[in-house]
Amino acid sequence: MNDEAAQQILVTLEQVGLMDNVIRRQAEEKLLIFRQQPGYALTLAHISLNSQLPVGYRHRASIEMKNYIKSHWFHDENFQPPEITPKEKALIRDILPRGLSEPHSGLRTALAMSLALVAVWDWPNEWPGFIEQLAKCLESDNTVLVSGAIKCMSIFATDDYMTDQHLPVLVPVALPILHRILSNEKAYDVKIRTQAVRIIQSCVQWLGKIQGADGNQSRLLMKKTIPQWLPIFVHILEQPLLADASNCGVKINVIQTLGAMVAFFPKQIKEFLAPITSIVWKTLLQLYPIYKKNVIDEDLLDECGQDSDGNVESFEMLVVVLFSYIGAVAESRKFRLVLQSILPELMAMIISYMQITADQEQLWEDDPNQFIADEDNFLVVVTVRPLCKELIEKLTRFFKLDGIKAFLAALTNRLRQPDQTWRSLEAVAFAIGLNAEHFAKAGDAFNVAEVFNKVLSVGVESSESKLLNGTCLRTAGLLASQVPAEVSYPFLMLTCRVLVNSAEHISTRLAAASALSEFCDNLTPELKQAFAKTVPEVVQPLCELSLVAGEDALHLLLGAIYTLIECNGDAVTPKVAVLDECLVRVWKKHFNSEHITNDVQFIVRLLSNVPACALHLQRTFLPVLLPLLVYDANQISGIVQAALYMVADLVGAMKELNAEVASKVFSLVVQQMVASDDSEIIEAGAGVLKSFVQVGGDSLAEISDEQGRSLLAVATDICLKLLGSSYGEATIGPSGKLTLALLTKCPKNVQGELGNRLLQSVVLRFCTANTQTLQQNLLFVLTRLINLNTDGAIRLLWDMQLNGERALPAVLNNWTSLHADLVGKYDTHLSLVALGKLLALKNAELGSVPVRGALQVDVNSARARRSARQKLEYSTMPFYAKVLELMLSEHMLAAEDDSDGEGGWDDEYSSGEDDDEEEEGAGAGYFEGADEDPFAAASLFQGLLNGTIALAMDEDDTNDPDILNDPVYHLDMQEYVENFLGKLFAEDREGVARLAIALPDQQKLHFHKLFLSGGGSSGGAAAAASGSTVPAAASVQ
């Protein structure tokens, strides 16, 4: 491009940054044209390097060049045509390194980024001298050039740019250069040396990540490298901290690098770990008085120090990485013993660092909602206080009894110190609350009652800090279960006085609300009765505080209200009007917050069980909710969904239906469901209809909607439509529950042909659903019906046709395949008991239905790579044999859970090594930039997901009275299986033994242990061994 074109590019780049939308859009269109012309990247490079132009123009050109290079240099996922020609690339590679000596730091960084981008694609093949060129720049006397070169290398060595192709070539060349820079602190300033350490850290992390591909080479390199670097790192850490925190950055990066070495290369660093940990400990000791003066006592550093890349370089961040390193060492079974000798002192030091800082004090007193958010949600940001909390928990978990003893010793010593400041006392109180559950098992090692009377009472009454008052209240609540009720009850009364006193600071009153929940959970029946007189006085301030509470604080307040009602619902009755008004206001304001709406729903459900409150709730809430249910295409779906959920709870709490109210609400809900294509609204609407069915039952047939149809007919029609193929699979779950309610609660009207149609629709969707979750929802319906009427359900399934064949084999095959993946206590119990009832039928034709067995593995191709398209093949086995396998598997699992739950203080806290073995390069864990094994992460995520789903399902179970009233929910599955199979085996030993032949080896061995070798633990196996019988029936073969 010529000079005229370059001038046009300059003008266009300036116009792109203007506020005028018309001019900016025109400039953007011109840039699109320039980007298609040859020589554009080279022209941008010349503009960026032209020192005669203003810096602003050059900086804009350098940013445009970087972005253009990213999408036009190399064919990757970001590539856009045209590609820069080889000749232009060569010219850019030739001139671009001149930008490393640019005096303006921002422009120099932008040019360094472009240079690093080019090197990513062209080094070492097209640009073999790149690293050597940077090395020469680093040897220059020009400090600006050195700064630019180290910046470029630092960018190149980060995760965004580095690849496993670059690393083997880069490390041998770069490490000697970086070693020389760090060894010569006089020639290179602290910023350059910090960049050098950051490059080393990146290289170590990358070497750790690629160990799977070339582990031996990485480990050999680190075995040679670590001894060379450690003396330099130790020297850096031993240097005194500067008052302005200017040398914090280099220390931070050294600690992070050491942490990466510990995580990825434990064997190579093992012999050096003790001196490294010693210097880390000394650094913590040296840092504390500086941290206390500059951060805890006064916020002397006005701004958090950051380098040009935005990396935090402050005293606080240095504490964070030091504690992170100690946490990583504590996690390692091989390494944690190096902390043993300093454990009591370490615990005491952690408590010291845990003190509220001046900045936190100002923030939390100005914004109490932030106080609750920061104290309860530690994952939001990494700061010293939450990290100290996490480290204490980690040390007590990994060091077990020794960790607890060290913690208690640290607390005892701190409590004995005279003239404590309010900050240090608050830190002690906060620390006590962290391990409240351990104190009861500590015996006389720690006198919790004395802590109540001599520490927490002093802190609560102190006039020095409202934050101290609040922490002592919350800790007293956490300790309530560890002391006799007569010791904690005076504190409960004190908590209530704080709560009702409007002159108290809001943060203290919020802390009192938090403590209230804990105290109420530990009251004796007698004290609950005495406390009932105080309950109405406390409800009022809790409702008033909700007016000024943010979401985190509001969640806390609603939790306290819930606890009060749970403690003594009748005592709330005098304030039900105030409480209802509060709940309506909160719900309307926070309808789009899942946490808050759930809180309100839980309270409404609880209040609905209090007769004097239930009717008032319906009168207060329904007039607010019904207008929201009138269909409006422009209405926000979130509020409609939330309103439907609330209506479902209110209807479910009704003792009997009011025909007028029922007709109106029913019509509005159905209108919403029919008009909406939002699956969440349809689900919530189905929940309302289910509540009506559960409360009204057959009486719904006598109530008409506004069109004159009976509510029962409308509900049945809606249910059949939701189960039909015209609706998506998202409607299966709620429609299945509605179907179950219709079949079980309306026996007079939903039977015969109508009942058969409903059940047939369920079976059809169950056999054709594409996702496991949806099949599980429908299996819940089928297993519940089989448990209620086994003979009738099986007779219907036996006669039902699916694609011209009997439906029963498909149902049994899907059912037995799904059972092992069921989540939720009730679903699992229901399925297993229903399978047992089918087994008890002893129907030879039913028992011989073939279902899916074990996965078939080709031993000869075991080493072959798995193909994503490879079809999995399974064996088949008789249905009754599969039921026997599932029952034995459930028994094994229940027995394992029982054995895991055994053990007391000595088992849980005894010192000793963990059973788990560590692997080389397990992952950096705490340290920034460290990635864990992706397959391990996926496995962990799946485990967490399953656990979360199971927990959620169990929570749903406990909210359904029908489920809670079902004896199946409360079964001890280990005992049930033993009794059931024991009686079956006693009656027909040969038939059950023939079924056992088809079992997998593990279940077959367990069967033998349970019934043939006297290994059972309860009556069933004993009954089998003694030859006891059950009523005569056909053989189960």
75-107 pLDDT, tens per residue?
888 889 999 999 999 999 999 999 999 999 999
Return phi, psi of residue 842, to 5°.
Answer: 55, 45
The mean pLDDT of the chain is: 82
More confident residue, 554 or 707: 554
Distance, in Å, from the CA atom of 749 to the CA atom of 691, rounded to the nearest integer, reads 17
**CA neighbor of 968 nearest in space, from 842, 830, 836, 848:** 830
With a pLDDT cut of 70, the percent of the chain lying above it is 84
Do strands 801-802 and 805-806 pair parallel, antiparallel, or not at all (unpaired)?
antiparallel
Q: Residue 257 above 60 pLDDT?
A: yes
Q: Residue 922's pLDDT band (boundaries 50, 70, 90)? A: very low
In contact, 1028 and 987? CB cutoff 8 Å: no
Distance, in Å, from the CA atom of 929 to the CA atom of 940, rounded to the nearest integer, reads 19
Tokens 């800790």 map to which residue?
475
Whether omega before 734 lies within 30 degrees of 0, making that bond cis, reads no
Mean pLDDT lowest among 159-173, 274-288, 524-538: 159-173
Q: What is the pLDDT of residue 1027?
A: 40
Mean pLDDT lowest among 286-300, 493-507, 838-852, 948-962: 948-962
Tokens 């403690």 map to which residue?
567
| Residue 84 DSSP class | P
Q: Residue 1010 above 80 pLDDT?
A: yes
Q: Residue 517 above 90 pLDDT?
A: no
Q: What is the pLDDT of residue 323?
A: 95
Q: What is the pLDDT of residue 47?
A: 94
592-613 pLDDT, tens per residue?
888 898 899 899 888 888 888 8
**CA neighbor of 366 nearest in space, from 502, 291, 466, 463:** 466
Q: Residue 197 above 90 pLDDT?
A: yes
Q: What is the pLDDT of residue 366?
A: 84
Q: What is the pLDDT of residue 885?
A: 93
Q: Residue 909's pLDDT band (boundaries 50, 70, 90)? A: very low
* Mean per-residue pLDDT, 784-799: 83
Q: Residue 194 above 60 pLDDT?
A: yes
Q: Residue 806's pLDDT band (boundaries 50, 70, 90)? A: confident
Mean pLDDT lowest among 147-151, 272-276, 343-347, 895-899: 895-899
Q: Residue 902 above 90 pLDDT?
A: no
Q: Residue 697 above 60 pLDDT?
A: yes
Q: Residue 406 above 80 pLDDT?
A: yes
Distance, in Å, from the CA atom of 775 to the CA atom of 818, rounded to the nearest integer, reads 8
Distance, in Å, from the CA atom of 546 to the CA atom of 583, rounded to the nearest integer, reads 9
Q: From start to end of 716-828, where are the E strands? A: 801-802, 805-806
51-77 pLDDT, tens per residue?
999 999 999 999 999 999 999 998 888
Q: Residue 282's pLDDT band (boundaries 50, 70, 90)? A: very high
Mean pLDDT lowest among 267-281, 469-483, 717-731, 746-760: 717-731
224-249 pLDDT, tens per residue?
888 989 999 999 999 998 888 888 99
Residue 170 class from Cβ within 10 Å (0-12 exposed, 13-18 middle, 19+ buried)? buried
Q: Residue 541's pLDDT band (boundaries 50, 70, 90)? A: very high
Distance, in Å, from the CA atom of 932 to the CA atom of 280, rounded to the nearest integer, reads 25
Take residue 888 and report the two structure tokens written for it.
């034995």
Q: What is the pLDDT of residue 438?
A: 67
Q: Residue 160's pLDDT band (boundaries 50, 70, 90)? A: low
In contact, 258 and 264? CB cutoff 8 Å: no
Distance, in Å, from the CA atom of 257 to the CA atom of 194, rounded to the nearest integer, reads 12
More confident residue, 638 or 1022: 638
| Residue 771 DSSP class | S
630-647 pLDDT, tens per residue?
888 777 767 888 889 889
Q: Residue 4's pLDDT band (boundaries 50, 70, 90)? A: confident
Mean pLDDT lowest among 121-125, 165-169, 312-316, 726-730: 726-730
Take residue 301 and report the two structure tokens written for it.
């550093």
Residue 629 class from Cβ within 10 Å (0-12 exposed, 13-18 middle, 19+ buried)? buried
487-496 pLDDT, tens per residue?
888 889 999 9
Take residue 559 and report the two structure tokens written for it.
């939790």
Q: How far is CA 61 from CA 95, 103, 161, 379, 687, in A?
A: 15, 16, 22, 40, 60
Q: What is the pLDDT of residue 680?
A: 85
Reported as type and span, the H/E element at residue 806 is strand 805-806
Q: What is the pLDDT of residue 400?
A: 86
Q: What is the pLDDT of residue 858?
A: 53
**CA neighbor of 388 nearest in space, from 425, 417, 355, 350:** 350
Q: Residue 857's pLDDT band (boundaries 50, 70, 90)? A: low
In contact, 511 and 469? CB cutoff 8 Å: yes
